[in-house]
Structure formats: C-alpha cells, structure tokens
Chain A
Amino acid sequence: MNFTKLLASAALVAGLATSAVAEKTKVGFVYVGPVGDGGWTYEHDQGRKAVVDAFGDDVETVYVENVPEGPDAERVMTQMALEGADLIFTTSFGYMDQTINVAKKFPNVKFEHATGYKTADNVSVYSARFYEGRAVQGHIAGKMTETNTIGYIASFPIPEVIRGINSAYLHAKKVNPDVDFKIIWVYTWFDPAKEADAANALIEQGADVILQHTDSTAPQAAAQAAGNVISFGQASDMAEYGPFPRVSSIIDNWAPYYIDRTKAVMDGTWTTTNTWDGIGPGMVGIGEISDHVPADVKAEALEMVEKLGSGEYHAFTGPINKQDGSVWLAEGETADDGTLAGMNFYIEGLEGDVPN
C-alpha cells in the first residue's frame, strides 16, 4: 500500500469516526504569525471566531499559529486533515505549494489558500483588493501633508505591495501635485524593531504622513512619539492609536468570506473559486476616519469609498503613465485584473526603482 493511499484511508477512517459521533463541520486555520500580532494573523483569527459565532455547535474550528512556510506548514495541514478537518484555510502566500501538495493527498478535504494563484479541484484561492483602501489613504495623505513628503514602509517588492504604493501615490498626487513619496523596503511583514527604525528614518527625512505595508503597530508608536505625524492602521484597525496619529486604516475583513465558504462545505455546494474582493463585498474595510481629518477631506474620502464599493470608480483609471513615461492606461481606461495581479512597475512620478 503506498503512502498516499495510507493517508487517504486514514483520513477516511477519521472522517467516518467523526461523522458517527456528530455532524460537526471541522474547519482548520494555519497562521503564519501569532494570533496576537494585531495585524494580519489577528484578522484571520477574527474571521475564525466569526465562523464559530455564525454556526455555533455545528462547527468546530482548530488553528495552529506561528507556522513557518515550508515543510512545517505541510505537516500541520496534513495533521489537520488527518484529524478530520473538512475545510482548511491556509493564510499566507508562502503556503502555496504545500497547500497543493497536501490537497493532492486528501481529495475530500477542501482547501482555501490566501493570496496565492494555484488552484485545484479542492483548492480555492482568495485575496483582497487592498489597493482600493490605498486609494482612500492616498487621498487623505495628499490632503493632509504639510511637508509634501509621505513616507511609505514597504515590506517586499511583490505585486501586492507595488500595487499599494502606486494606488496611494496616484491618489495623493491627484489632490496634491507637489507630493513626494519616500519608500523604505524593510523585507519583513512583521518586525516591530525594523518597522520603527524605518518610520523614524522617514520622519527624519521630513515625512509627516507614514503609510505602512507591514503588520505591527510600531510605526504608529513612532508617529505618536514624533508628535506631528499622522499614520494609518494596516491589516487591523489599530484604533488604540486613534484619533491621532492614526487617522484611518485598512482593515482585512475575512469574516464574510470564511462564513460563506464554511456554509458551502456544510451544504455540499463548495466549488473551486478564485476570489478577489474589495470594498464592495466588505473584504476590505476602511477604519473610521478620525476627527483629526478636516470634515471636507473626510467627506471626499467617504465618497470615494462609496464609489469604489459600488464599482462606479476604479482605483486605477487612466490616464496613467508608467514611470518611464510610456502610456499604461489611456484616458478613461481601467486596469485589467491580469496586469494588476502581476504588477511589477512604478507609475510616473515615483522616484527610485522597484528593487529586485
């Protein structure tokens, strides 16, 4: 008997055993960080809790936190599948190949991989259009800056992050033609010390707005210490730093999606999907815009949220040129998802190169 068969039959036995006891649907979550990170993993865990609240005794959730990307992730997913999970959410890009590997061994278990691009009969992918939130941030930042210098703490030069920079810059520039972006790459998603260093360096260079694409609250604390700098919560609301320096935030709201997909497994209607949702379906939330923002700016920002949500406005609407001056989008043209998904270039006006 080969190994795959052995695993599959063990899973079957486990499945039968659990279904004999109760009809509970078991949902597993694999987290890359600690649930208390206040950002990325925290919000995924909020989504898990929402699943518990929604289905009560009909559902059992399990999670493992701080799972490194690589063989450990593969082991943890296998472990969950062996223990009878019906649905497993793997919540980091770096779990992509492992998710596909384990999914092959457990054809009856459904997998949901966040932010990846590989699907299979039992693997769906999902991600959020955070760049819509970045557009709102850019607008507020452009209006609020007095030094015309906006600092941006970037994690890794991947399409997701580059999209965010472009979107924020585009909308800041629209309302403030003199605006200048200073970008620091920290090559980490979560490292409070590095993030604080980057924030302080940007503030020293004259930035009075700090945007971050990293998950800790350290940049918020740095902005608070500086006293005249505003910031935006990332991944999570980070409301504890409001109403100033934190004036708003981009919130990852996975709850509706997690509830939806769990329901689909319960009803037997689950199919492979490729979801990329934004403000409209509620996957991207804009945290409350604090009173530190002038009322008219706030009203404009809220109007933009409304239009992005309804689909009336696309965050990347032409005319937009690439950094080298060549035309990317003509007047009125909007970006297609394919280009956005693989975005690896800056738009016109941004200084420096995308590192590689």
Chain B
Amino acid sequence: MIRLEKRAEPSQLWSLLTPVVAVITTMIAGGLLFAALGKNPFVAIRTIFYDPLFGEFAFYYRPQLLVKGGPLILIAIGLSLGFRAGIWNIGAEGQYIIGALCGAGAGLALYPMESVLIFPLMILCGLLGGMLWAMIPAILKLKFGTNEILVSLMLVYVAEQLLASMSLGLLKNPEGFGFPGSRNLQDYPSAHNAELIAGTGMHWGVLTAFIAVIFAYVLLKKHMLGFNIRLTGEAPRAARFGGVNPNRLILFCMGASGALAGLAGLFEVAGPAGQVSIDFNVGYGFTAIIVAFLGRLHPVGILLAGLLMALTYIGGDIAQSSLSLPSAAIQVFQGMLLFFLLAFDVLTNFRIRLAVKGAA
C-alpha cells in the first residue's frame, strides 16, 4: 500500500526539484509517444530541445525564443502576483487583446503623423487598457462578490468579439481592399516596436519582461506589499489579523496583472504581429498560466519557464516540418508538462509512505 502523508512544512527541496523532474518525465513520456508514432524518440527530443539552441540555424531561433517567450514571461509575472495571494485572474488573454486594441488604436488614430511621443503614448494606452479590463472582474468581486475566475474568463470572449469588430470596422485598413485587419504598424516608424538591436529578437516588450522580473523579485522579497501578498496566499486569516486590506490587494493584483498583459499585447501588436487582425490573439494569456505555475510563481522561475515554453513551441514547429510530427502530438507533449508538474507537486506537500498491509 502506498500512502500519502502530509508534511508539516512544504519541502523546500521538492519545491525546487519538481519542475526539473516534471521536464525530465515529460521527455520520457513524450519520447514514448513519439516512438509510438513511429518516430525516433531521441531525434524528436533533440529536435525540440537542442536544435533551436545549438543546431545549424540557432542564430535565427535563439532570438525567436525571446520573441516568443517575452509576452509569456511578462503576462505570467503579473498573474503570479495574484496567484500567490489566491486571486485568480484567468482572463489575461482578454486583457492582452484590449491592451493591443487600445495601444494600436492610439497609434493608428495619429497615422501618418511622425513623432517620438507616439510610441510612449501607445505603451500608456496599452497598459491602461489591460488594467481597466482587469478592473471589471476586480470591482465586480468587491461590490457584488462575484467570482473573478468566471468573470475574467468570460471577458476573454467579449474581448475576442471586440477584436473581431475592430478588425472589421473601426481599425480596418482603409487601403486594405475591404479585407479585415488594420494597417501594419511595422510600416509606421513612429508606432513600430522594432528590434532594439537588429537580429537579436530584443524588442521593448522583451526588455519590459526582464524589468518586470526584477521588479517582481524585489517586490516579493523586500517590499511590505510583497509580504502581504505572500501572507494572504499562505495564511489568509493571519493576514486579516495583521491588518492586510484584502480589497486593496485584489485591486492591486488584478490591476497589475491586467496592466502587464495589456503591455504584452501592445508590444506584440506593434512589433512581431504588426497588425490588429481577427486572429491576433494566439493564446499567450492562457499559456502564461502554465508558465506561472511551471515557474513556481517565482520571478526567476517564470523567466526560465517562459523560455522553456517558447522552446517547446519553436522546437515543436521544427519537429513538425522536419520529422512530420503532427501538431497534436506537440500539443500533447506541452500538456504533459503541466500534468506532470501538478502531479509531482504533491511531493512538495506530501511524502510517500509505504505502509504495511492492514496497518492503515
């Protein structure tokens, strides 16, 4: 008989080890899956994890890791603050969309004016847009006690409808022959979030993500607010006795995560994506939830987890074309990562005991 016994204290060791064990187990289980599909599992794993970093064309894929990982990290950092305090913003995808719409809208409204002030204005609008969208579930929660998980999630679908409507209406490219989608911001120098150094993948969004990692780290380690966040998550009653105002915490966590998601959307639409289009959002807001947990809600962990997720996407696409792996297999592979992570997470709080038969 195997029995789970609750630990008195969560295990520090397992807390650090879990993500590593989960990644290795995913490689093994994924390898078996690829073998079952008739592919060489070692080649497949190498293609996904090694080739983008050190393969023949790594000079192109390494910068792409930043492009793909940047928005994931930025969003996940914001989400992790709330998740630590038990405030569940599941609607980052919607905040990402609204941030992109507000930011791009500000830029497009000024087209074709050229000014160095346009891009900062767009950043501000993107940030505010995402923040205000996240304020809806926050305020509803405070005023009416609604569940922020449901409300924030539902608002994703509202945001998607708004995105479609904007792509087909207000923000539609007047020179686009009636096709949906806005002007391409890459062709509008004042609004273009270009690479800071060509060929590095480093754009303002990636830089902001790195800055957010540092800020979150300092906030959680050194600042009273960070302590309150951690305390509320770990011991809500103690936090209340300690004078933590839960309402202000909800507003802060929802607002911060919304603002960062909005920023991610703005940097994406003004940079790599270039235009507001019906299918602009590709799930960064949801993937960031995985990234946040994979990174143990810790800023540095999230940084690494974001890059790892980006790697599986990029390597996954390479495996599709060079090994003819179906994309569903890659998706299963990514899903396994979260699955194993949550499974092994049990070991942080519980220890496994082999009990003698009948003793239990």
Say if the beta carbon of B134 comes within 8 Å of chain A.
Answer: no
A-contact 0/1 string along B255-282, CB 8 Å cutoff:
0000000000000100011110111101
Q: Is the CB of A70 within 8 A of B280?
A: yes
Task: Classify the secondary structure of A's interface with B.
Answer: mixed
Kindly identify which residue among A65, A82, A159 contacts B320, using a CB–CB cutoff of 8 Å: A65
Q: Which of A159-199 touch B at CB < 8 Å?
A: 159, 187
Q: Is the CB of B168 within 8 A of A68?
A: no
Q: Is the CB of A64 within 8 A of B179?
A: no
The interface size bin for chain A is 35 or more
Say if the beta carbon of A282 comes within 8 Å of chain B.
Answer: no
Q: Is the CB of B326 within 8 A of A65?
A: yes
Q: Which residue of B59, B186, B318, B321 has the most chain A CB atoms within 10 A of its CB atom?
A: B321
A202 to chain B, nearest CB (A): 20
Q: Which of B105-131 touch A at CB < 8 Å?
A: none
Say if the beta carbon of A269 comes within 8 Å of chain B.
Answer: no
Q: Which residue of B60, B314, B322 has the most chain A CB atoms within 10 A of its CB atom?
A: B60
CB nearest to A345 among chain B residues? B178
- Across the A-B interface, how many residue pairs have beta carbons closer than 8 Å? 111
Q: Is the CB of A62 within 8 A of B322?
A: yes
| Chain A residues closer than 8 Å to B67, beta-carbon distance | 71, 75
A226 to chain B, nearest CB (A): 27
B-contact 0/1 string along A269-290, CB 8 Å cutoff:
0000000000000000000000
Q: Is the CB of A343 within 8 A of B178?
A: yes
- With A3-B199, A63-B320 known to touch, is A159 a contact of B164 (CB < 8 Å)? no
**With the chains together, A356 CA to B174 CA distance in Å?**
13
Q: Is the CB of B64 within 8 A of A75?
A: yes
Q: Is the CB of A158 within 8 A of B178?
A: yes
B232 to chain A, nearest CB (A): 36
Q: Is the CB of B57 within 8 A of A10?
A: yes
Q: Which residue of B165, B179, B278 has the most chain A CB atoms within 10 A of its CB atom?
A: B179
Say if the beta carbon of A34 comes within 8 Å of chain B.
Answer: yes
**With the chains together, A325 CA to B218 CA distance in Å?**
67
Q: Is the CB of A28 within 8 A of B321?
A: yes
Q: Is the CB of B321 within 8 A of A69?
A: no
CB nearest to B160 among chain A residues? A187
- 15 more contacts with CB within 8 A, not counting A70-B277, A341-B177, are A2-B199, A14-B56, A35-B326, A71-B68, A75-B68, A75-B314, A79-B57, A80-B321, A82-B57, A94-B279, A97-B275, A101-B186, A157-B168, A187-B161, A356-B165
- 7 closest A-B pairs (Cβ-Cβ)? A3-B199, A71-B272, A68-B282, A66-B327, A62-B321, A70-B273, A356-B169
